[in-house]
Amino acid sequence: MSKIMTVDILSSIKGAEPSESVNKLFDVIKNAQTINNSTTNTINAVSLNDLREDVIIESSTTEKEIIKENFPNEKNGFLVVTKVIEE
């Protein structure tokens, strides 16, 4: 079942609409000639041999304090984070 989503829903921005200035840019791409459409874009790939260690790095005390400051509400010693899931 397909459901058409408008750009304001996709972008999570109330009242957002496509822009004529931006659409002009996209028209150029639609009409551009490419050698082929299959992308081989591996420019930023990281080698499997070069992955960083999968370890937990403990945050400093100062870092933890500032994170708490960015969430000023506290209840029973816990940070209070605003609701993130509804349905």
Partner 1 sequence: MESQIQQIHQQLVDKKITCTALIQERLDLLKANTNNTVNQLLEDIALNLAKKVDAKINNGDTIGLLEGIPFGIKDVYMVQGTKTTASSHLLKNYKSAYTATAIQKLLDAGAIPLVKENCDSFGHGSSSENTIFGAVKNAINPNLVGGGSSGGSAVNVAKNYTVFSIGGDTGGSIRQPAGYNNIYGLKPTYGRISRYGLMAYASSTDCVGPLAKSIEDIRIVLNTMSGKDVKDQTTYASADINTENLTNINGIKTVGYFKNFIESDAIDAQVKADFLTTLDKIKAKGIAVKALDFFESNTLVSTYYTLAMAETASNLSRLDGTNYGERVESGSLKETYAVTRSQNFSEETKRRIVGGNQVLSQGFSDKIYLKGLALRDQISSNFEKDFNTVDIILSPVTPSTPPKVGDSLKDPHAMYLSDAYTVGFSLGQLPTFTIPQGTATGLQISAAKNNDELVLKFANFLKDTI
Give how many residues touch partner 1 by CB under 8 A: 52
Question: Which residues are CB-contacts of 14 (< 8 A; sequence separation ≥ 6)?
Answer: 8
DSSP 57: P
Beta carbon of residue 69, minimum distance to partner 1 (angstroms, whole number):
6
d(CA 31, CA 35): 13
Judged by CB under 8 A, does residue 15 bind partner 1? yes
Q: Of the candidates 36, 49, 73, 76, which one interacts with partner 1 according to CB under 8 A?
A: 36
Q: Report the run of H or E that residue 75 belongs to, with start and end.
A: strand 74-75
d(CA 29, CA 23): 10
Judged by CB under 8 A, does residue 61 bind partner 1? no
Residues that bind partner 1 (CB under 8 A): 5, 7-8, 10-22, 24-26, 28-30, 32, 34-41, 43-44, 46, 50-53, 59, 62-63, 66-67, 69-70, 81-87
